[in-house]
Copies of this chain bind each other. A is one copy, B any other.
Amino acid sequence: MALTVHSHEHYMREALKQARYALQEDEIPIGAVVVLDKQIIARAYNQTERLHDVTAHAEMLAITAAANHVGNKYLADCTLYVTVEPCVMCAGAAAWAQLRHVVYGADELKVGFRRYGNLLHPKAKLLRGVLAEECGALMQEFFARKRK
């Protein structure tokens, strides 16, 4: 991966901004950005509540927006940054989009895709744990609020 560690954190901070928008709107706080040639071409946050749509995960919206941006459904040269380990649905979408680089923050042991094997594109490289603590803290804050 050509990007430096500093860059990963930079882009993950942008994904975290998106996650905070979700938190403000009482959505599960997950954010994502898609990067091409060091430029962010798509930003999105989870909007399942607002849209009454289980498919409106941050990653799905970001992948759709990125494809619109480049005018191509394949995003092989792009990197997806997402604050939390993608679910099966989103990992499947990343595979179909042929995303070769996926970077996430916090592990999601319950509904993350990794327990089902490698669902990403066969050529995809996965980097985990970038700003994991901050990414995970947002989730904990959300669920702690919900329990009150």
A residues with a Cβ closer than 8 A to B are 48-49, 51-55, 60, 63-64, 67-68, 71-74, 87-93, 95-97, 116-117, 119
Would you give the shortest CB distance from A85 to chain B, in whole angstroms? 13
For residue A93, which residues in chain B have a CB less than 8 angstroms away from its CB? 54-55, 89
- How distant is the Cα of A91 from the Cα of B63 in the complex, in angstroms? 18
How far apart are A134's CB and chain B's nearest CB, in angstroms? 25
Sample 21 A-B pairs with CB under 8 A, ordered by A number: A48-B96, A51-B73, A52-B67, A53-B68, A54-B63, A54-B73, A54-B74, A54-B96, A54-B97, A55-B55, A55-B60, A55-B93, A88-B89, A88-B91, A88-B92, A88-B95, A88-B116, A89-B91, A89-B92, A89-B96, A92-B92
